[in-house]
Structure formats: structure tokens, C-alpha cells
Copies of this chain bind each other. A is one copy, B any other.
């Protein structure tokens, strides 16, 4: 509330430290479906909390948007060029005692990106940067309230998968329907792997009708037994998603009180 004059312009006194943290999710193919959904964690080499695992994050610069800061966090902590990646704000965590170094308010973000062509290089103040299966994350030992962030991010991502087409962010240009199905199975429910191609395809009838999901006319190169799957391409707006409603509602946790 403290005010002070500055060149005739009213100026407010800073009262907090603002940071961003990024929950970067990926789905790794050729992995057991239960471990395919993974998150980027970094082991801190900061003055405080040395050795602790945490989400990548940085303090927000004076003239920097949250979005830019979040991408910079991925750049400086793991040498990832996140330009163009799917990134959205998750929520802000600001409990007064969440950080012992002061009133640190962190704007958490969620990013989704396929990782088969990425290499993680530990950046500044980082000992290691690794992909960790979300169900293996040592929640209790994460720094700050990053376990909370991760939990909320997981729920939000599961919802997003149901209400939008973000799943395509986790696939290359050309992909097969079984690959697409594995994205949903890894994040929502492994039982989806048992879904028939026909039934799975019907869930995307709108996209086929609108021309946003088109068959490429090629077959995937078969490296294993069985018929090679057809290749498809997603022609929706880059980095954008549409609202939608997925038919299959799995693991319905109705009757459970919300947070």
C-alpha cells in the first residue's frame, strides 16, 4: 500500500517476488504405458535447496511476460528451445510460507511437447535434468510446493485432453491412430489401449468431417508384426486447440468432493 512519488507518476512499492515454474509433460513412445507419461524435473544446484528435485522455473524479469519467462525457464534450465510449443498458464501458487526466502509467488504453467527429438542439457543452477514418469515422481521430496503444482497440472492436462485436441501436440507431423490412442491411454487410462480402431476413430469424426484430420495416404513402416497402420496429419491451427467433448468417460470419480 506504500506509495511514493516518482517523476510525478504514482508508483507502487514492490511487495513480492514473482516467479514462473513450468510443468513440461511428454509421452514417450516405446515405453510401458503406465510409465509413458513423463514430466521434466531438474535437480537444483541453487544456493538454497541443493540436491532437491524441482520443476524448472525462473524469476520473472521486469519487462517480461509470463509466457516468455516460462519459455526462458526451459531454455536456461534444460537448454530446450520452447518457441512455438504448447504452453498455457496453470495457476498461481502464493501461500505466504511456500518459500522461506520471502514472499515468492509462482505462476505455474503447463507445456506439452513430444520429446523423441529432444536432448536435455542441465543449465544454470541445475545438476541434472531428466524425464520422470509422473507416477514415479517422489512427490514428498520435491522442492517448495511443486508436488501440488504437479498434481494440479496432471488433473488439468487430463481435463484438457478430454475437452480439446491438445493430444496432437504430443505427436509428430505424421502419426498413426494407434499412436494417437497411446497418448490418450498414457494420460487418461491404460484401458483405452483396448479400444477398437473403429470406435476410437468415431471420436474424431468431427475432425475428419472438417478436414482438420486427414489421412496422408501412406502406411507406417512396419518394424514389428501385424499390419502397418495408416498415417494421418493434423491440420488444425498450430499450437491451437478446439473445444470438444470426448465420448469415453473413464475412471469417473463422481461423488468425490472437489478440492
| Interface positions of A (Cβ within 8 A of B) | 1, 3, 9-18, 47-48, 59-60, 62-66, 89, 91-92, 94-96, 99-105, 107, 164, 206, 210, 237, 240-245, 249, 252-258
Contact B258 A16 (CB under 8 A): no
Which residue of the partner chain B has the closest CB to A16? B18
What B residues does A96 contact at CB under 8 A?
Answer: 62-65
Cα distance, A206 to B18, chains bound together (Å): 43
Q: State the 5 A-B residue pairs at the shortest beta-carbon distance, nearest first.
A: A14-B14, A16-B18, A92-B92, A12-B17, A12-B102
Most B C-beta atoms less than 10 A away, residue of A1, A48, A242, A258: A258
What B residues does A240 contact at CB under 8 A?
Answer: 257-258
Cα distance, A258 to B10, chains bound together (Å): 37
Cα distance, A13 to B99, chains bound together (Å): 13
Contact A257 B237 (CB under 8 A): yes
Cα distance, A61 to B62, chains bound together (Å): 21
What B residues does A255 contact at CB under 8 A?
Answer: 210, 242
Cα distance, A253 to B244, chains bound together (Å): 9
Contact B15 A62 (CB under 8 A): yes
What B residues does A249 contact at CB under 8 A?
Answer: 245
What B residues does A9 contact at CB under 8 A?
Answer: 100-101
Partner among B14, B89, B164, B256 whose Cβ is within 8 Å of the Cβ of A15: B14
Q: A242-B257, A243-B252 are in contact. List 13 more A-B contacts (CB 8 A).
A: A1-B59, A11-B101, A12-B101, A14-B14, A15-B17, A15-B60, A16-B16, A65-B94, A164-B258, A237-B257, A242-B255, A242-B258, A243-B256
Partner among B1, B14, B101, B242 whose Cβ is within 8 Å of the Cβ of A254: B242
What B residues does A63 contact at CB under 8 A?
Answer: 96
Contact B89 A91 (CB under 8 A): yes
What B residues does A12 contact at CB under 8 A?
Answer: 17, 59, 99, 101-102, 104
User: Shortest Cβ distance from A35 into chain B, in angstroms?
Assistant: 26
User: Shortest Cβ distance from A76 into chain B, in angstroms?
Assistant: 11
Contact A16 B17 (CB under 8 A): yes
What B residues does A252 contact at CB under 8 A?
Answer: 243
Known contacts A18-B15, A242-B258; decide if A92 and B95 are in contact (CB<8 Å): no
